[in-house]
């Protein structure tokens, strides 16, 4: 009786969170799936069932494939770069260095800034002829270049902004994990004559794997949802060179007002994120050692 009472109490405690999750996550996702099989209602044309027509249009949509390609490249650069940079910064500020508190604050400052503010800062850096980056390169004799207006460099430019924004946020998790590692492990490694690199590779890095899995999941999600800086920097241009999948969904849904096609695009994005999560938990978690 006591066990069943405890189970009832446990489910009652979970009920508010489960209700909120179902109401604001699962139901909108299900409603979006249903909406993707219908046409967009117009003033003189009611919504009607079209089956897989929206998905067939998607397969022949060149902008969609451009957005997918851009997003994959964006993720391929932002995810490893932000994680590696965050780990290096955390290891650095975890040691006893001069002005450690100031360095920590400097690394974390980009995280607390709104993304629109960050985009405006970097817009000043990238401004042709007058921007800070142009001034520095011009001092060394390099020619002027429109970083955000060229198809060859626009995506790389917005990727740098995302890495700069995210690395400080991930650093906090790594720093907290490093501070949980017992100090006697470092002392034992020093007595054994292990180098700083050997201690990191053999001791710190394996113990950071649970944090790395958590950070990796967040980095993947951010790579497919971070689009607010595009409104300030490029608006998806030039010639869709920086159009990411979520930004394209926003344009289709709110600029072109084709909500059903936007729902189909959203389901593709959800499927990609679900598949990625299954791979992360099914493969990577087996390599994670929890203490």
pLDDT tens for each residue of 166-214:
999 999 999 999 988 888 888 888 888 888 888 888 888 888 888 988 8
pTM of the prediction? 0.87
Question: In the numeric block, which tokens belong to residue 43?
Answer: 């003033």
Question: What's the pLDDT score for residue 74?
Answer: 95
- Domain-wise residue ranges, the chain: 58-287
CATH number 1.10.3720.10 is the correct assignment for the domain at 58-287: yes
Question: What's the pLDDT score for residue 19?
Answer: 93
Question: What's the pLDDT score for residue 279?
Answer: 81
Could you state, in chain order, the average pLDDT of each consecutive group of 10 residues for the chain (291 residues)? Answer: 78 91 90 91 84 92 94 94 94 82 84 85 87 85 87 93 92 91 85 84 87 89 87 89 93 90 93 84 66 55
Question: What's the pLDDT score for residue 155?
Answer: 94
Question: What's the pLDDT score for residue 62?
Answer: 95
Q: What are phi and psi of 42, to 5 degrees?
A: -120, 165
Q: Cα separation of 185 and 179, whole Å?
A: 12
DSSP type of residue 114: -
Distance of CA 104 to the CA centre of its chain: 22
């Amino acid at each position: 009786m006591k066990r069943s009472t405890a189970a009832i109490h446990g489910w009652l405690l979970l009920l508010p969170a489960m209700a909120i999750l179902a109401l604001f996550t699962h139901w909108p996702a299900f409603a979006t799936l249903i909406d993707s099989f219908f046409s967009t209602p117009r003033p003189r044309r009611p919504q009607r069932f079209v089956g897989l027509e929206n998905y067939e249009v998607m397969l022949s949509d060149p902008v969609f494939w451009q957005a997918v390609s851009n997003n994959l490249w964006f993720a391929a650069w932002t995810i490893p770069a932000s994680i590696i940079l965050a780990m290096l910064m955390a290891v650095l500020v975890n040691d006893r260095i001069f002005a450690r508190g100031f360095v920590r604050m400097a690394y974390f400052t980009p995280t607390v800034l709104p993304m629109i503010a960050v985009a405006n800062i970097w817009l000043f850096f990238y401004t042709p002829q007058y921007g800070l980056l142009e001034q520095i390169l011009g001092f060394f004799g390099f020619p002027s270049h429109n970083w955000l207006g060229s198809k060859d460099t626009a995506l790389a430019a917005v990727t740098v902004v995302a890495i700069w924004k995210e690395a400080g946020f991930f650093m906090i998790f790594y720093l907290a994990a490093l501070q949980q590692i017992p100090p006697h492990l470092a002392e034992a490694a020093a007595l054994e004559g292990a180098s700083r690199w050997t201690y990191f590779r053999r001791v710190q890095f394996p113990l950071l794997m649970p944090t790395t899995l958590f950070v990796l999941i967040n980095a993947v999600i951010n790579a497919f949802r971070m689009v607010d800086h595009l409104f300030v920097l490029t608006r998806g241009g030039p010639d869709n060179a920086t159009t990411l999948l979520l930004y394209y969904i926003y344009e289709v849904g709110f600029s072109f007002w084709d909500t059903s096609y936007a729902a189909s695009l959203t389901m593709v994005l959800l499927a990609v994120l679900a598949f990625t999560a299954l791979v992360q938990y099914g493969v990577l978690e087996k390599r994670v050692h929890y203490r």
